[in-house]
Amino acid sequence: MLHEKLYDYLLHLGDNSMILGQRLGELCGHGPELETDIALTNISLDLFGQVRNYFQAAAQIKGGDATEDSVAMLRYEHEYKNTYLVEQPNEDFAHVIVRQFFFDVYHQLILNELMNSKNETLVAIAKKSIKEVDYHVDFSSTWVKRLGDGTEESHEKAQTAVNTLWRYSMELFKATETESWAAESRVGPDLDQLKSVYLERVSSILKEATLSLPEETVFQYGAKTGRHSENMGYILAEFQYMQRAYPNMKW
Amino acid sequence: MENKTLSLEEQFQNRIDSGENIEAKDWMPEKYRKTHIRQISQHAHSEVVGMLPEGNWISRAPSLRRKVALLAKVQDEAGHGLYLYSAAETLGISREELNEQLNSGRAKYSSIFNYPTISWADMGAVGWLVDGAAIINQVMLTKTSYGPYARAMVRICKEESFHQRQGYEIMLSLCNGTEAQKAMAQDALNRWWWPSMMMFGPRDEDSPNTEQSMKWKIKKKTNDELRQQFVDQTVPQAEILGLTIPDKDLKWNEERGHYDFGTIDWDEFWDVVKGNGLMNEKRLKDRNEAWDEGKWVRDAASAYADKQAEKRAKKTA
Amino acid sequence: MPINRQKKEQRKQHKSNNMNKEWPIWEIFIRSKNGLEHRHCGSLHAADEDMAIQNARDVYTRRQEGVSIWVVESKHITASNPEKNGEMFEPAADKVYRHPTFYELPDEIKHM
């Protein structure tokens, strides 16, 4: 059914931004410098703004008493479509930046495609979001370079982050059934087609940053179909707490 | 000419009395400079530490709309801290020193932030009461004598009114909600009322610096006057919410035209000021960790900037 | 690989040079969307000009569109000396003729 598939696709788009936004929100007040704190929170704000757009549209499709909040907060673990990458913890600043960078390059690519979607709502959301995400890419790429080509210590930490997180990158491009439907119906991008550009852009920045991709990587897949990492349970426990403890109330 | 018989200090005070702003490079008494560094940096530290009790609830905000609003508010606070650090720096102190003073526990910040935020309703109470109290002080400071401080305050005041409204609106939603929500709101008010009253500082008779502060336009009214203003404006707001302020001595006094209120627990006040509040240690620990763990990041950025500069120099050479 | 070894050496050197190095202060000037000129809004710390602009955008514009940002390292700004303000900005009591309002013009002359 068109509507079910579109609803599911909106969850795909929203969940990545949402979980990543949630991770960034955890950093508030703990940044390495006040200015950086503001920058990271700004990104979190942008992402949640996008989430609200996706989920308001999703709630409309679902109908009944569905709201952006019920869509966001009342699903069970296996019903979330985000990737492993965005669930990863805020291990240290290098992890935060590399995670952001790996996601931002992908995010920019799909938003550019979504601006040509057959679905008007997605076009509108993409047009608004791309300006923000262009900035996110700038921000995270520059920081990857600062850390990679900064001091001995920052280089090591950045390389460790790359080595740890790279295994979650390819999941971004492995289409689920819904994402395949989206590509076929010209509602969303053909993820496979975007892979080589992604690799080019990521490699180019890493090279400038004097960082390298790990030689042999066993890529991880499965989060998008509901098989999340152990991180997800804790993220949701915090995220959903108020809605679960105080059900059916207005805030 | 008459001016030549006035001392530098007297001329300086005349400038202030005539409404002139003192700017960074102007001559100023050393006491003025030191007092302002202390005052402005305390204010800045308060904004920065203030991010923590509210940041605590970002991940658990009950709706997307509330989460976004809270993120924006906390971000504003970081920005306010920044404006104020910048103003303090114009007086000849470095950001590094300022951080050192805060992290070592030597510098003070507003004690209110040493209280814990233990329920969502605290986000409402803090916005309504704490920001409400802060605004009373801040509006005064937009006319303070030191230019950079006054200008930072103008900027801050513009953004602050959104904070208080947001807090009050959260309380309103809760009080118009279920019994459980209303109870949450009342509990938050019960815990935040007296600490908010303490934000105005010791009684006038225990405040030696008031006179000097008024001469330099850091203060327009005394602690007790401001505290009275806060009570008078907040009691009706609580009535609209249908909540009870936890002060059995609170009563409208027709003769005075003000509310009478009970006695603050001055022991608690001084305990928290001295660093023995519930959250004092944790707040400092969090700030220290952020700063210490951030060092390698700051160093990396500096190193990278140097390298880029070298590369550019080589190109143009 | 030789290139990576070179970079490694550079990084080691930078590590010792950069202990406790603070990011410099930058003064921020913003021209709003319909504004006529850039105005000084304040300052912030950044390691380089890209970071300064990014930070200024986050701190002073809250992402408003159509805003122009200038950043200048504080050390590059020369300010007038306030003690000499009298000379520069106020006409001295005995030099009234410098100031245009002290010329008396016939009423018939307009727009001057």
Helices (H), chain A: 2-25, 34-62, 68-73, 84-87, 93-114, 120-148, 152-165, 177-184, 191-208, 231-245
Terminal CA-CA length for chain C: 74
Task: Calculate how close chain A gets to B165, using CA atoms only, in Å.
Answer: 15
Closest residue, chain A, to C48 (C-alpha): A146
User: With contacts defined as CB-CB under 8 Å, which chain B residues touch A33?
Assistant: 294, 297-298
A68-91 burial: b if 16+ Cβ within 10 Å, else e: bbbbbbebeeeebbbbbbbbbeee
Residue from the list B86, B155, B303 with its beta carbon closest to the beta carbon of C44: B86
Longest dimension (CA), chain A: 57
CA B133/CA A172 separation, integer angstroms:
48
- pLDDT grade for A176, boundaries at 50, 70 and 90: very high
Q: Decide if pLDDT at A116 tops 70.
A: yes
Contact B158, B117 (CB under 8 A): no
Residue from the list B51, B68, B82 with its beta carbon closest to the beta carbon of A48: B68
- Give the model confidence (pLDDT) of A197-240 as tens digits: 999 999 999 999 999 999 989 999 999 999 999 999 999 999 99
Query: What's the pLDDT at B279?
Result: 87
Chain C (49-108) residues lying within 8 Å, Cβ to Cβ, of chain B: 51, 59, 79, 81-83
**Residue C72: is it exposed, middle or buried by C-beta count within 10 angstroms (0-12/13-18/19+)?**
middle
User: With contacts defined as CB-CB under 8 Å, which chain B residues touch A48?
Assistant: 64, 67-68, 71
* Region for C111 from its dihedrals, namely left if φ exceeds 0, alpha if ψ lies in -120 to 50, beta otherwise: left
- H/E stretch holding C29 reads strand C25-31
Task: Calculate how close chain C gets to B105, using CA atoms only, in Å.
Answer: 20
Q: Percentage of residues in chain C with pLDDT exceeding 90?
A: 23
Chain mean pLDDT for chain A:
96
| Dihedral over Cα of B15, B16, B21, B25: its sign | positive
Q: Does A230 touch chain C (CB under 8 A)?
A: no
User: With contacts defined as CB-CB under 8 Å, which chain C residues touch A152?
Assistant: 8, 11-12, 15
| Amino acid found at B50 | G
Subunit contact A152:C63, Cβ cutoff 8 A: no
Q: Decide if pLDDT at C111 tops 60.
A: no
Chain C (63-82) residues lying within 8 Å, Cβ to Cβ, of chain A: 63
- pLDDT grade for C88, boundaries at 50, 70 and 90: low
Task: Calculate how close chain B gets to A192, using CA atoms only, in Å.
Answer: 32
- pLDDT grade for A195, boundaries at 50, 70 and 90: very high
Q: Decide if pLDDT at C92 tops 50.
A: no
Chain C neighbors (3+ CB pairs < 8 Å):
A, B
Task: Calculate how close chain B gets to A128, using CA atoms only, in Å.
Answer: 17
Query: What's the pLDDT at B24?
Result: 86
Nearest to B85 by CA among A141, C22, A73: C22
CA B249/CA B260 separation, integer angstroms:
7
Please state, in angstroms and as integers, the Cα–Cα distance from residue A57 to each residue in A121, A124, A177, B290, C85, following that order.
8, 11, 20, 38, 61
In a mutational test of the C interface, the residue from A152, A154, A212 whose CB has the highest number of chain C CBs within 10 Å is A152
Query: Can you spell out the DSSP letters for A153-164?
Result: HHHHHHHHHHHH
Subunit contact C10:B94, Cβ cutoff 8 A: no
Query: What's the pLDDT at C22?
Result: 79
Q: Decide if pLDDT at C103 tops 80.
A: no
Residues A56-85: what's their mean pLDDT?
Answer: 97
Task: Calculate how close chain B gets to A22, using CA atoms only, in Å.
Answer: 6
Place of tokens 């950093």: A27
Q: Which residues contact B183 (CB under 8 A, 6 or more apart)?
A: none
CA B116/CA B283 separation, integer angstroms:
10
Task: Calculate how close chain A gets to C64, using CA atoms only, in Å.
Answer: 11
Query: What's the pLDDT at A146?
Result: 97
CA C11/CA B307 separation, integer angstroms:
10
Four-point Cα dihedral B57, B58, B60, B66, nearest 10: 110
- Give the model confidence (pLDDT) of B81-115 as tens digits: 999 999 999 898 988 889 889 888 888 888 899 99
- Strand partners for B253: B258
Contact B95, C45 (CB under 8 A): yes
- Give the model confidence (pLDDT) of B10-57 as tens digits: 999 999 999 999 988 888 999 999 999 999 999 999 999 999 999 999
Query: Can you spell out the DSSP letters for C84-102?
Result: GHHHHHS--TT-GGGSGGG
Q: Decide if pLDDT at C5 tops 60.
A: no
Residue from the list B52, B68, B303 with its beta carbon closest to the beta carbon of A29: B52
Please state, in angstroms and as integers, the Cα–Cα distance from residue A246 to each residue in A72, A234, B148, B259, following that order.
16, 18, 46, 36
In a mutational test of the B interface, the residue from C43, C50, C77, C85 whose CB has the highest number of chain B CBs within 10 Å is C43
Query: What's the pLDDT at C95?
Result: 37
Q: Could you tell me the pTM of the whole model?
A: 0.89
Contact B66, A251 (CB under 8 A): yes
Q: Decide if pLDDT at C64 tops 90.
A: no
CA C99/CA A217 separation, integer angstroms:
77
Terminal CA-CA length for chain B: 57
- H/E stretch holding B311 reads helix B295-316
Helices (H), chain C: 2-17, 49-56, 85-89
Q: What long-range pairs does B90-97 form, CB within 8 A, spacing at least 24?
A: B90/B24, B90/B148, B91/B24, B91/B33, B91/B36, B91/B37, B91/B40, B92/B33, B92/B37, B93/B37, B93/B41, B94/C22, B95/C22, B95/C45, B96/C20, B96/C22
Residues B219-248: what's their mean pLDDT?
Answer: 95
Q: DSSP letter for B210, please.
A: H
Q: Percentage of residues in chain B with pLDDT exceeding 90?
A: 69
Query: What's the pLDDT at C63?
Result: 59
Subunit contact B86:C43, Cβ cutoff 8 A: yes
Q: Does B27 touch chain C (CB under 8 A)?
A: yes
Subunit contact C41:B26, Cβ cutoff 8 A: no
Q: Decide if pLDDT at C11 tops 70.
A: no
In a mutational test of the A interface, the residue from C16, C54, C60, C63 whose CB has the highest number of chain A CBs within 10 Å is C54
- Give the model confidence (pLDDT) of B304-316 as tens digits: 999 999 998 988 8
CA B181/CA B164 separation, integer angstroms:
20
CA B206/CA A138 separation, integer angstroms:
54
Which of B54-68, B301-315, C94-108 is modeled with the greatest confidence? B54-68
Query: What's the pLDDT at C31?
Result: 92
Q: DSSP letter for A150, please.
A: S
Chain mean pLDDT for chain B:
92
- B40, two tokens: 């402005």
Residue from the list C11, C47, C63 with its beta carbon closest to the beta carbon of A151: C11
- pLDDT grade for B274, boundaries at 50, 70 and 90: confident
Subunit contact A155:C18, Cβ cutoff 8 A: no
Query: What's the pLDDT at C93?
Result: 41
Task: Calculate how close chain C gets to A145, using CA atoms only, in Å.
Answer: 12
- According to the 3-state scheme, what is the secondary structure of B120-140? CHHHHHHHHHHHHHHHHHHHH
CA A52/CA A69 separation, integer angstroms:
9
Contact B175, B240 (CB under 8 A): no
User: With contacts defined as CB-CB under 8 Å, which chain C residues touch B96?
Assistant: 20, 22
**CA atoms lying within 13 Å on the CB side of residue A50:** 31
Contact B286, A29 (CB under 8 A): yes
Q: DSSP letter for C23, please.
A: P
Subunit contact C4:A210, Cβ cutoff 8 A: yes
Subunit contact A238:B48, Cβ cutoff 8 A: no
In a mutational test of the C interface, the residue from A24, A28, A35 whose CB has the highest number of chain C CBs within 10 Å is A35
User: With contacts defined as CB-CB under 8 Å, which chain A residues touch C54?
Assistant: 39, 138-139, 142
Q: Which residue has the higher pLDDT, B314 or A7?
A: A7
Closest residue, chain A, to C19 (C-alpha): A151
Which of A30-44, A96-110, B136-150, C53-67 is modeled with the greatest confidence? A96-110
Nearest to B101 by CA among B23, B13, B176, B38: B38
User: With contacts defined as CB-CB under 8 Å, which chain B residues touch C79?
Assistant: 25
Closest residue, chain C, to A153 (C-alpha): C15
Closest residue, chain B, to C79 (C-alpha): B25
Closest residue, chain A, to B81 (C-alpha): A34
- Strand partners for A50: none
Subunit contact A153:C14, Cβ cutoff 8 A: no
CA A208/CA A232 separation, integer angstroms:
33
Q: What angle do CA A227, A229, A230 make, to 5 degrees?
A: 125
CA A175/CA A198 separation, integer angstroms:
15
CA C57/CA C67 separation, integer angstroms:
9
Chain A neighbors (3+ CB pairs < 8 Å):
B, C
Task: Calculate how close chain B gets to A88, using CA atoms only, in Å.
Answer: 15
Query: Can you spell out the DSSP letters for A167-199?
Result: GGTGGGGS--HHHHHHHHTTSS--HHHHHHHHH
- pLDDT grade for C41, boundaries at 50, 70 and 90: confident
Residues C87-103: what's their mean pLDDT?
Answer: 43
B2-39 burial: b if 16+ Cβ within 10 Å, else e: eeeeeeeeeebbebbeeeebbeeebebeeebeebbbeb
